[in-house]
Amino acid sequence: MEKTVDGTFTDLLETTQNSNDETTAVSLLANYERELQETLTMDDNGDSYRVIFWTYYEPVVERIDDVRRTAGWPFVTPQDC
């Protein structure tokens, strides 16, 4: 049985599409991680994990990167060595 994502996660994904709110972006990232963690308990040879990861990885990263650029988050900004 394949896992489906929680409505809260999809709402956050949609909300962050038109917003650079840092709190919402952090919530999105936390919810994405929760969705992935929940798939690890499923007995489907990792199929659900891969589906959730690859379906949502790019949209989540794009939204986090948009907020990072706007807010200037130093902990995810490449630093000169």
Task: Kindly give the confidence (pLDDT) of every residue in the chain, 81 residues in length, as a single tens digit, with 9 standing for 90 and above.
Answer: 556 788 888 888 888 888 888 888 889 999 999 999 999 888 899 899 999 999 999 999 999 888 888 887 776 555 554
For 7, half-sphere exposure in the C-beta direction (CA atoms, 13 angstrom radius) is 0
Q: What is the pLDDT of residue 54?
A: 93
Q: What is the pLDDT of residue 80?
A: 53
For the chain, state the CA radius of gyration: 14
Token code pair at residue 75? 């902990």
Q: What is the pLDDT of residue 78?
A: 58
Q: What is the pLDDT of residue 2?
A: 57
Residue spans per domain, the chain: 7-71
How far, in Å, CA of 65 to CA of 25, rounded? 9
